[in-house]
């Protein structure tokens, strides 16, 4: 006879899990490589003729200031100071060894004219713009091939003024894919902190082909019904730390990605070692933490904890499809509180959405070793809608210590998945009903499996300490 609750099993699981050094819990786990960039040189944007009246277009002032500061790149770098005021601008480019500092009550406003957002090539891992074939508008704040870039301040605001873009999307009058608010491409040593980001035209913060990225203590807001205004989307990037953030937007709060179908498969740049902790947020249409739907370069070692989602459609979601290829593996999510959330956990194996007709329907994604534990939920409609792919089951899905207060009659609906569970209420679906026993510990992903990997211990010294 199978039971979902096995006291001995539970005790073992709890004992074993609790002695594990908690990777994402130490005193200062998301550490910067080079301690707080103190820039020996600083200029104010006003020295370059910028006018903070909310009307004057300051794109040239930003470009000239940054061009000037480039001469300090090999002298410890420089700081561009943006004082209180409303600084309207089109898209501009960052440089290495730069701190962009927004003082209290400084607001950088994105131009509402699409001509001020130039068009650039699509990402190679997407093969085309995400929403339209061809090129895409460049983000308001853009950086490529950079190192040591800090975007910070005293809670200044970067406002994308996205409503025109949302209207062009709704009326189908866009010519190219909408721009992000901030995109950093092929860069490393990035810190984005102590700021507020609002009303992005599209995804808000998009690090792509990056490593060593810290996003800390930021607020991200967009209307709950604004289209595709994701919060933070680490994409084909490694060593990303997101902590102490509040995000309330019209799409996924955090979406971890790695390229789209045949383009993502051939570009083959995974997203790996992503830490998310102390996040609070809401999304009426989408998920708090999503993996996918573009995951063709692979996603692994995502560790998320101490998170609260409320008034949301979904808590945790994995989205994929035949044609994606790639993998989602070694995911550890714990201590999440859900309040008024329709679906606590959702896996979607047939998300669809392909870049073109040339994807390979035989390219099936691998989804395995997903551990979710210590989840409490109040006013939840569905505990889990877990839909794998026929002939390509999602394996070693491990759920433990999950207590949800459910409003629907059938809380779980599972297909093509396999795994184990312990202390889950309401009782899980049949494929997960076997208890996690010592026999299964090596099947379930846990933090000691991460730490035991010596290559991770070496990598860990960059920003993990315990
Ligand atoms: C990334 O930047 C490095 C130099 O910083 C360059 O060699 C490489 O080609 C760049 N790759 C892409 C995709 O931009
Ligand atoms: C980044 O590097 C790539 C590859 O070397 C190069 O093609 C591109 O022009 C560089 N872009 C910038 C903005 O430096
Ligand atoms: C968060 O940012 C605010 C200003 O935006 C600052 O006052 C506060 O000290 C920061 N907190 C942390 C933990 O960095
Ligand atoms: C920063 O300002 C926003 C409003 O612009 C506010 O909601 C947020 O709480 C502030 N953050 C901090 C850390 O003070
Ligand atoms: C699309 O292109 C047309 C023709 O160049 C132009 O009039 C229109 O403003 C463009 N739309 C957007 C949203 O940029
Ligand atoms: C955020 O602001 C606080 C307070 O000024 C400061 O102590 C902290 O170092 C800042 N964090 C980052 C990552 O810039
Ligand atoms: C769980 O997360 C909450 C924040 O959401 C935090 O206050 C609490 O200390 C965490 N619990 C543990 C055991 O870490
Ligand atoms: C179970 O999870 C809850 C959070 O939802 C936590 O407070 C509690 O300590 C966990 N129980 C055990 C035995 O770890
Ligand atoms: C959910 O839990 C709350 C208390 O946490 C309780 O008042 C409420 O009746 C519960 N609802 C259901 C449907 O069990
Ligand atoms: C479970 O989901 C499948 C589709 O994935 C649906 O056809 C079926 O009706 C659902 N069953 C229940 C009991 O909700
Ligand atoms: C964690 O995983 C490793 C290898 O995957 C396994 O050897 C170990 O027993 C597991 N530990 C726990 C506490 O589950
Ligand atoms: C250890 O990490 C490396 C990447 O750094 C990965 O290729 C390898 O598969 C991992 N080994 C195990 C046993 O997880």
pLDDT at residue 428 in the model: 96
- CB atoms under 10 Å from CB of 34, counted, come to 12
Hey, which CATH number is domain 44-456, 2.160.20.10, 3.30.479.20, 2.40.50.140, 3.40.50.720? Answer: 2.160.20.10
pLDDT at residue 466 in the model: 25
Q: What is the mean pLDDT of residues 196-225?
A: 97
Ligand 5 atom closest to 114 (CA): 14
- The answer for residues whose C-beta is within 8 angstroms of residue 309's C-beta and 6 or more apart is 253, 280, 281, 282, 283, 288, 315, 336, 337, 338, 339, 341
Q: What is the mean pLDDT of residues 207-213?
A: 97
Distances (CA, A) of 244 to 10, 277, 312, 354, 426: 31, 7, 19, 34, 31
* 365 in Cβ contact with 359 (< 8 Å): no
pLDDT range class, residue 277, cuts 50, 70, 90: very high
SS3 202: coil
Atom 9 of ligand 5: nearest residue by CA position: 114
Atom 7 of ligand 12: nearest residue by CA position: 455
Ligand 2 centroid to 135 CA: how many Å?
Answer: 17
Burial letters for 287-306: b for 16+ Cβ neighbours within 10 Å, e otherwise? bbbbbbbbbbbbbbbbbbbb
Distance CA 428, CA 425 (A): 7
CA atoms within 13 A on the CB side of 92: 22
Q: Is the pLDDT of residue 74 over 80?
A: yes
Q: What is the mean pLDDT of residues 389-414?
A: 97
The per-residue pLDDT for range 217-231, each reduced to its tens digit, is 999 999 999 999 999
Q: What is the mean pLDDT of residues 394-404?
A: 97
Q: What is the mean pLDDT of residues 195-213?
A: 97
Burial letters for 226-252: b for 16+ Cβ neighbours within 10 Å, e otherwise? bbbbbbbbbbbbbbbbbbbbbbbbbbb
Q: Which of 196, 199, 279 to mutate to test the pocket of ligand 4 (most atoms within 8 A of CB)?
A: 196
380: phi then psi, degrees, rounded to nearest 5: -110, 135
Q: What is the mean pLDDT of residues 449-453?
A: 65
The per-residue pLDDT for range 80-103, each reduced to its tens digit, is 999 999 999 999 999 999 999 999
* 233 in Cβ contact with 206 (< 8 Å): yes
User: Quick one: how many helices (H) and strands (E) in the chain?
Assistant: 6, 27
Ligand 10 centroid to 102 CA: how many Å?
Answer: 50
Q: Is the pLDDT of residue 132 over 50?
A: yes
- CB atoms under 10 Å from CB of 423, counted, come to 21
pLDDT at residue 438 in the model: 81
Atom 2 of ligand 6: nearest residue by CA position: 194
Burial letters for 81-98: b for 16+ Cβ neighbours within 10 Å, e otherwise? bbbebbbbbbbbebbbbb
* 95 in Cβ contact with 71 (< 8 Å): no
pLDDT at residue 461 in the model: 35
Question: Residue 217: which of 30, 27, 463, 84 has the closest Cα?
Answer: 30
pLDDT range class, residue 180, cuts 50, 70, 90: very high
| CB-ligand 3 contact for 154 (6 Å cutoff) | yes
pLDDT at residue 25 in the model: 37
pLDDT range class, residue 441, cuts 50, 70, 90: confident
| CB-ligand 6 contact for 155 (6 Å cutoff) | no
| CB-ligand 2 contact for 144 (6 Å cutoff) | yes
pLDDT at residue 464 in the model: 34
DSSP 389: B
- The answer for residues whose C-beta is within 8 angstroms of residue 352's C-beta and 6 or more apart is 321
* 199 in Cβ contact with 161 (< 8 Å): yes
Q: Is the pLDDT of residue 13 over 50?
A: no
pLDDT at residue 37 in the model: 66
pLDDT range class, residue 36, cuts 50, 70, 90: low
Atom 8 of ligand 12: nearest residue by CA position: 453
Burial class (CB in 10 A: 0-12, 13-18, 19+), 428: buried
pLDDT range class, residue 457, cuts 50, 70, 90: low
Distance CA 343, CA 243 (A): 24
What global pTM score does this model have?
0.92
Q: What is the mean pLDDT of residues 41-54?
A: 97
Q: What is the mean pLDDT of residues 12-24?
A: 42
Catalytic residue list contains 251: yes
Q: Is the pLDDT of residue 109 over 90?
A: yes
What are 107's strand-pairing partners? 86, 157
* 289 in Cβ contact with 317 (< 8 Å): yes
Q: Calculate the CA 408 to chain-centre distance.
A: 30
Instruction: Tell me the Ramachandran region of residue 330: left when phi exceeds 0, alpha when psi lies from -120 to 50, beta otherwise.
Output: left
SS3 437: coil
pLDDT at residue 7 in the model: 43
DSSP 245: E
pLDDT cut 70: percent of the chain above it? 88
* 107 in Cβ contact with 86 (< 8 Å): yes
Q: Is the pLDDT of residue 12 over 50?
A: no
- CB atoms under 10 Å from CB of 223, counted, come to 16
Q: What is the mean pLDDT of the chain?
A: 91
Of the candidate ranges 32-46, 154-168, 192-206, 275-289, the one whose mean pLDDT is the lowest: 32-46
Q: What is the mean pLDDT of residues 384-395?
A: 98
Rg (C-alpha) for the chain, rounded Å, is 22
Atom 13 of ligand 12: nearest residue by CA position: 453
pLDDT at residue 453 in the model: 62
Q: Which of 145, 146, 187 to mutate to test the pocket of ligand 2 (most atoms within 8 A of CB)?
A: 145
Of the candidate ranges 25-29, 129-133, 210-214, the one whose mean pLDDT is the lowest: 25-29
pLDDT at residue 6 in the model: 41
| CB-ligand 5 contact for 173 (6 Å cutoff) | yes
302: phi then psi, degrees, rounded to nearest 5: -105, 125
Q: Tokens 């994105």, residue?
A: 110
How large is the greatest C-alpha to C-alpha distance in the chain, in angstroms? Answer: 77
Q: Please state the domain extents for the chain.
A: 44-456
Ligand 12 centroid to 453 CA: how many Å?
Answer: 6
Distances (CA, A) of 189 to 33, 147, 245, 270, 295: 7, 5, 19, 18, 23
Output the CA angle 228-231-237, nearest 5 degrees: 105
pLDDT at residue 397 in the model: 97
> Residue 124 CA: which ligand is closest?
1
Size of the chain in residues: 466
Annotated active-site residue in 251, 261, 330, 422: 251
Ligand 12 atom closest to 330 (CA): 14
């Amino acid at each position: 006879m199978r039971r979902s609750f096995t006291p001995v099993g539970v005790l073992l699981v709890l004992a074993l899990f609790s002695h594990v050094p908690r990777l994402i819990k130490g005193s200062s786990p998301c550490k910067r490589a080079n301690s707080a960039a103190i820039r020996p040189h600083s200029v104010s944007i006003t020295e370059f003729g910028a006018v903070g009246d909310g009307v004057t277009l300051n794109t040239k002032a930003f470009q000239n200031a940054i061009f000037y500061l480039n001469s300090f790149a090999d002298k410890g770098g420089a700081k561009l100071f943006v004082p209180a005021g409303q600084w309207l601008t089109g898209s501009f480019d960052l440089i290495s060894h730069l701190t962009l500092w927004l003082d209290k009550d400084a607001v950088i406003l994105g131009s509402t004219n699409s001509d001020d957002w130039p068009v650039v090539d699509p990402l190679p891992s997407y093969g085309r713009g995400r929403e339209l074939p061809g090129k895409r508008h460049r983000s308001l704040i853009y950086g490529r091939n950079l190192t040591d870039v800090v975007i910070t301040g005293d809670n200044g605001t970067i406002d994308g003024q996205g409503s025109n873009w949302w209207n062009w999307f709704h009326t189908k009058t866009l010519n190219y894919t909408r721009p992000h608010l901030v995109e950093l491409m092929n860069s490393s040593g990035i810190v984005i902190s102590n700021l507020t980001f609002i009303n992005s035209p599209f995804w808000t913060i998009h690090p792509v082909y990056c490593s060593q990225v810290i996003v800390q203590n930021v607020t991200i807001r967009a209307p709950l019904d604004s289209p595709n205004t994701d919060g933070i989307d680490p994409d084909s990037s490694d060593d990303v730390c997101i902590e102490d953030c509040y995000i309330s937007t019209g799409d996924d709060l955090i979406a971890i990605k790695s390229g789209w179908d045949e383009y993502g498969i051939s570009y083959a740049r995974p997203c790996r070692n992503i830490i998310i902790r102390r996040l609070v947020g809401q999304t009426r249409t989408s998920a708090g933490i999503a993996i996918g739907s573009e995951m063709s370069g692979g996603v692994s070692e995502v560790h998320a904890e101490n998170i609260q989602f409320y008034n949301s459609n979904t808590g945790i979601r994995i989205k994929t499809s035949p044609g994606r290829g790639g993998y989602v593996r070694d995911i550890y999510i714990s201590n999440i509180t859900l309040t008024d959330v329709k679906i606590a956990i959702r896996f979607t194996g047939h998300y669809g959405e392909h870049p073109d007709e040339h994807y390979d329907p035989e390219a099936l994604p691998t989804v395995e070793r997903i551990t979710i534990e210590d989840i409490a939920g109040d006013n939840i409609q569905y505990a889990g809608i877990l839909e794998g792919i026929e002939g390509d089951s999602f394996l070693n899905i491990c759920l433990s210590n999950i207590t949800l207060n459910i409003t629907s009659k059938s809380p779980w609906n599972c297909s093509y998945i396999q795994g184990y569970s312990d202390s889950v209420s309401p009782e899980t679906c049949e494929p997960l009903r076997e208890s996690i026993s010592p026999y299964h510990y090596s099947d379930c992903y846990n933090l000691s499996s991460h730490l035991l990997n010596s290559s991770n211990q070496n990598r860990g010294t960059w920003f993990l300490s315990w």
